[in-house]
C-alpha cells in the first residue's frame, strides 16, 4: 500500500459575502483536486469575515446546523472531486448553543466526523467566548479513507496537550485551520515575534509527536465593525506544511492567496519515531499534575 499522500492548504481572504467566499474555496479545492491532492484544508471560519472582533447577537443568525446548507455543498464538492476536505463552520447546535466546528468530508462526500474547538479565547479583537461553547467531542482523530486526521482549531494550536492527545489517539497528521493576525498598532518587532512564536510552537508539536502538520491561515485586513473598540485585524497568512521533525516543507507569504501542495511520505513518521522515541520515554507516572489548573 502506498505511503504517499498529497496534501494541500488554501490560504485565502474572507470577505463580507458568504457565497463569494464559499465559491472561492470551491475553486481552490478543484485546483487541488486537479493536482491530484488527497486532502485540502480551508482556513478557520472561511465562509465570512472573522466576526469575533466584537460582541453582537445579530451574528448568531449566521450560524448553520450540521448537516446544513454549507455542508451539503461541500459534501458534493468532496464527492465530485474525490478529495477529503477540512472546513470549519459556525455551528448552530441548538438555540443559545453554538460551536466553532471543523467538519471533515471524506472522498465519497460523507461527513467523516466533526471536531468542536476546545480552547476558546477571549482577548481584545478575539471575543470568541461570547459566541462559542467549548467543544465536547474530545481530542479524537477523525477516521477517513486517507488515514486518521488530528484536526484542531486555531487557539488549540498553542496547547501541546491537545496535539499530544491527538497523537496518542492515533492521529497521523495534525491539522490546524486558523484565523490569526496582527493588531496594526503593534510595532514591527512585536509583529515578528508573534508570528514566529505561532510558527515555532506548531513546529514543536510536529517534532514532539513525530507527525506532519498542516497550518492554514487566512489573509487580508478585516476592519472591526466597531472601529472605536478595535481598529481591525491584519491576518498574517504564513500557512505552512511541516514534516515530522518540524521541517518546513512548503509555506506561503503574508499577503498572497495561495494553494499549498506537498506530497508526504507517511512512513517517515514511523522512521522519525523510531530514532526519536519520545512516546516511549514519557514519564506518565509523574504527569498526574498536568490535570491541575496550577500547582501552588
Rounded to two decimals, the pTM is: 0.96
SS (H, E, C) 84-116: EEEEEEEEEEECCEEEEEEEEECCCCCEEEEEE
Contact indicator for 84, 78 with CB cutoff of 8 Å = yes
Residue with cell 478543484: 30
**Is residue 116 scored above 70 in pLDDT?**
yes
| Catalytic one of 14, 52, 154, 216 | 154
Classify residue 34: in a domain, yes or no: yes
Classify residue 147: in a domain, yes or no: yes
**Is residue 102 scored above 90 in pLDDT?**
yes
Question: Residue 86 belongs to a domain with what CATH number?
Answer: 3.60.110.10
The reply to whether 216 belongs to the active site is no
Classify residue 161: in a domain, yes or no: yes
Classify residue 124: in a domain, yes or no: yes
Classify residue 242: in a domain, yes or no: yes
Q: Which range marks the domain in which residue 72 is found? A: 4-291
Classify residue 266: in a domain, yes or no: yes
- Among residues 208, 226, 228, which one has the least CA distance to residue 272? 208
The reply to whether 267 belongs to the active site is no
Identify the band that residue 225 occupies on the pLDDT scale cut at 50, 70 and 90. confident
The reply to whether 44 belongs to the active site is yes
Classify residue 296: in a domain, yes or no: no
Per the structure, the count of domains in the chain is: 1
| Catalytic one of 44, 128, 222, 234 | 44
Classify residue 189: in a domain, yes or no: yes
Mean pLDDT for all residues in the chain? 96
Amino acid at each position: 500500500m502506498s505511503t504517499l499522500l498529497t496534501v494541500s492548504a488554501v490560504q485565502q481572504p474572507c470577505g463580507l459575502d458568504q457565497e463569494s467566499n464559499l465559491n472561492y474555496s470551491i475553486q481552490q479545492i478543484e485546483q487541488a483536486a486537479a493536482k491530484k491532492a488527497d486532502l485540502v484544508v480551508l482556513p478557520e471560519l472561511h465562509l465570512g469575515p472573522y466576526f469575533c472582533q466584537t460582541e453582537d447577537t445579530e451574528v448568531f443568525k449566521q450560524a448553520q446546523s450540521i448537516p446544513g446548507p454549507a455542508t451539503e455543498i461541500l459534501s458534493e464538492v468532496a464527492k465530485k472531486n474525490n478529495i477529503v476536505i477540512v472546513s470549519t463552520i459556525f455551528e448552530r447546535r441548538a438555540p443559545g448553543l453554538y460551536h466553532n466546528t471543523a467538519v471533515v468530508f471524506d472522498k465519497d462526500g460523507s461527513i467523516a466526523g466533526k471536531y468542536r474547538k476546545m480552547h476558546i479565547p477571549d482577548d481584545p479583537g478575539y471575543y470568541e467566548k461570547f459566541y462559542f461553547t467549548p467543544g465536547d467531542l474530545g481530542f479524537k482523530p477523525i477516521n477517513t479513507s486517507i488515514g486518521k486526521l488530528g484536526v484542531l482549531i486555531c487557539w488549540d494550536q498553542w496547547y501541546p496537550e491537545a496535539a499530544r492527545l491527538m497523537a496518542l489517539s492515533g492521529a497521523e497528521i495534525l491539522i490546524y485551520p486558523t484565523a490569526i493576525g496582527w493588531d496594526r498598532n503593534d510595532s514591527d518587532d512585536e509583529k515578528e515575534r508573534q508570528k514566529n512564536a505561532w510558527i515555532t510552537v506548531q513546529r514543536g508539536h510536529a517534532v514532539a509527536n513525530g507527525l506532519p502538520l498542516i497550518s492554514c491561515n487566512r489573509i487580508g485586513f478585516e476592519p472591526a465593525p466597531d472601529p472605536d473598540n478595535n481598529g481591525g485585524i491584519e491576518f498574517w497568512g504564513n500557512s505552512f506544511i511541516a514534516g515530522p521533525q518540524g521541517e518546513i516543507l512548503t509555506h506561503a507569504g503574508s499577503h498572497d492567496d495561495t494553494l499549498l501542495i506537498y506530497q508526504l511520505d507517511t512512513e517517515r513518521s514511523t522512521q522519525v519515531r523510531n530514532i526519536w522515541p519520545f512516546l516511549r520515554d514519557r514519564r506518565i507516572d509523574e504527569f498526574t499534575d498536568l490535570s491541575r489548573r496550577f500547582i501552588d
